[in-house]
Amino acid sequence: MQATKRRINSIVATRKITSAMELIAVTKLQRWQKYFYSSDKFTESFKTILNEYQKLEIKIESPYFLENKESSGILHVILTSNLGLCGAYNNNLINYVQNKIKEEDTLLVIGKRGYREIRKTHDNIITDFINVGDDLSYDTVLKLGRLFTTRYKLKKDNQVQIHYTHYINSLNSEPRSITLLPLRNETNELELKEQLAPFPIVEPDATQFLEELIPLYINALIMKVLIAAQVSEQSARRNAMEAATDNATDLIDELMIQYNTARQAAITQELTEVLGGSNV
């Protein structure tokens, strides 16, 4: 009976921890969700501007729209977490990415958890950005953007692909990939015709304007997927901690029944012995 009581106390303490971690994850999730929805609108605005200029058939002299045929390797950027206790968040993404990686490819793994697993099977890993976590800043995005664009201009990579966990809703997320470089026009001709009105005149000219805009668009895409990964991670952690708390509650209830049953049996035994002794 005492062993059962000790086990109950231990699980109660664990439940306090998982409940607190769930509340922390909820707070972080709400914060990142605001950034997530804002970043989506922000990148769509950039995309609309680029598509409008392409509709006007303005020639864009940018290496970021050209394929690097001189290189056969792909730079895979994999967004995992620094912390655990987030269910299958990291494993699902790693399993998704493994089949896409070839021998000539280069990897950049963000997140300690993913790095520990991926380095077991791959050696060609850039380690400069492993610790990017909750303290995500635009300076980090700028550094990543410079790394990707510099490598691409130097023709070190045929493509730059980012693999991350996309947030769908509080219960669902899924691994996804985007091709960051080369840039592609994802809007068809019909959609272009339906977009609004003449585009503003810019100075000194549209070509120079676009040359300045494209790096900003690349950085916006990087920020968008980093935020999406954070939202998915916090959502996964909240769900995992909620499930752990619920499981702890169920286990405590079961153990309390066992404890009370044993206690009642012990009391009954003592009463029986007392009554039996009084009849002697």
The answer to whether 149 and 218 are in contact (CB under 8 A) is: yes
82: left (phi over 0), alpha (psi -120 to 50) or beta: alpha
Instruction: Write out the residue range of the structural domain in which residue 141 sits.
Output: 51-239
- Asked if residue 248 belongs to a domain, the reply is no
Instruction: Report how far residue 279's alpha carbon sits from residue 8's, in angstroms, rounded to the nearest whole number.
Output: 39
The mean per-residue pLDDT over the stretch 22-30 comes to 94
pLDDT tens digits along 162-199: 999 999 998 899 999 999 999 876 544 444 445 545 55
pLDDT (0 to 100) of residue 221: 94
What's this model's pTM, rounded to 2 decimal places? 0.85
pLDDT (0 to 100) of residue 107: 96
- Asked if residue 217 belongs to a domain, the reply is yes
Question: Which of 27-31, 39-43, 202-206, 264-268 is least confident?
Answer: 202-206
- Asked if residue 270 belongs to a domain, the reply is no
pLDDT (0 to 100) of residue 199: 59
Checking if the pLDDT of 156 tops 90, the result is: yes
The mean per-residue pLDDT over the stretch 235-249 comes to 96
- Asked if residue 213 belongs to a domain, the reply is yes
pLDDT (0 to 100) of residue 188: 47
- Asked if residue 20 belongs to a domain, the reply is no
Checking if the pLDDT of 144 tops 50, the result is: yes
- Asked if residue 106 belongs to a domain, the reply is yes
For the chain, the average pLDDT equals 86
- Asked if residue 155 belongs to a domain, the reply is yes
Checking if the pLDDT of 243 tops 80, the result is: yes
Domain count of the fold of the chain: 1
Q: The domain spanning residue 146 has which CATH number?
A: 3.40.1380.10
- Asked if residue 82 belongs to a domain, the reply is yes
